[in-house]
Amino acid sequence: MYAKTEDFDLELQDLAQAAKLFSHPARLAIIRLLAARNTCISGDIANELPLSRATVCQHLQELKNARLIRGEISGLNVNYCLNVEKWSAIKKQFEALFDMEIQDVNCICIN
């Protein structure tokens, strides 16, 4: 986090951090995969993405640190799944953003 980020409302910091999770197509692809399937082995995820195993792992860790996904060791494999509670919480945050009332603009604003 850049230093100045702390100078904003916590609510905005929080939402910005959630948005960052969605700001890379690999992470969106992972989320989509985990939503679509209920089996979710790390290696399978890596095989479906056009990235190296190491890079996919990094994205998985980011989502895991944010508690949006969870991983469970099962022998040699690791099963990942969405944390639906966190998913719902983020969904609510974005709903609040988009439900925000918008005043009529008073500029013509061509450009």
Q: Running DSSP on this structure, what letter comes out for residue 41?
A: B
What is the CA 81 to chain-centroid distance, rounded? 13
User: How many of the chain's residues bind a second copy (CB under 8 A)?
Assistant: 58
CB of 29 to a second copy, least distance (A): 6
- Determine if 107 is a binding residue for a second copy (CB under 8 A): yes
Residue 3 binds which of a second copy, DNA, none (CB < 5-8 A, kind-dependent): DNA
DSSP character for 39? Answer: -
Task: Read off the tokens for 54.
Answer: 């190491």
List the x/- string, 3-42, binding to DNA by CB under 7 A: xxx--------------x--xx-x--------------xx
Q: Which long-range contacts (CB under 8 A, 24 or more apart) does 89-96 make?
A: 90/18, 90/21, 93/14, 93/15, 93/18, 94/15, 94/18
Query: Would you count residue 55 as binding DNA (CB under 7 A)?
Result: yes
Task: Catalogue the E-assigned strands of 1-111.
Answer: 69-74, 77-82
Q: Out of DNA, a second copy, none, which partner does residue 30 contact, by CB within 5 to 8 A per kind?
A: none
Residues in touch with a second copy (CB under 8 A):
4-5, 7-9, 12-13, 15-17, 19-29, 32, 35-40, 50-51, 70-72, 74, 79-84, 87, 91, 94-95, 97-98, 100-111
